[in-house]
Amino acid sequence: MSPLDSCKKMGLVFDDVVGIVEVINCKDVKVQVMGKIPTISINKTDGCHVYLSKDSLSCEIVSAKSSEMNILVPNKDGEFTELPVPEQFKTIWDGQKLVTTATEIAG
């Protein structure tokens, strides 16, 4: 599948993907997986909502240089629960290696 590149206010709905779906340089896009997918990559994108199916919950989501990303997972009642992807991280040296964790903005 070709990457979504430089799209604005676009929606993509698809069944199964055996490789990767890439979202690059986009603004305000929605991606909905109806079947299975191993990986979704989101890069340099502002505003991305990814709707996963129950068959795609093991999907890896890799993101970089992006903001306003939300992953929506299905509930038992057919509705979706919206979960934000962290945009801010904290990295510390633990004496042997760098350890990076997601942080939430206080306030």
Interval 36-87: pLDDT, tens: 999 999 999 999 999 999 999 999 999 999 999 999 999 999 899 999 999 8
Count of the separate structural domains present in the chain: 1
Q: What CATH code is carried by the domain that includes residue 31?
A: 2.160.20.70
Q: Is the model more confident about 9 or about 2?
A: 9
Percent of the chain with pLDDT over 70: 95
Pair of tokens at residue 13: 């709905």
Contacts of 107 (CB under 8 A, 6+ apart): none
Q: What's the pLDDT tens digit per position in 81-94?
A: 999 999 888 999 99
Residue-range definition of the domain harbouring residue 96: 4-103
pLDDT class of 1 with cuts at 50, 70, 90:
low
Pair of tokens at residue 85: 């992807």
Residue 98 near residue 91 (C-beta atoms within 8 A):
yes
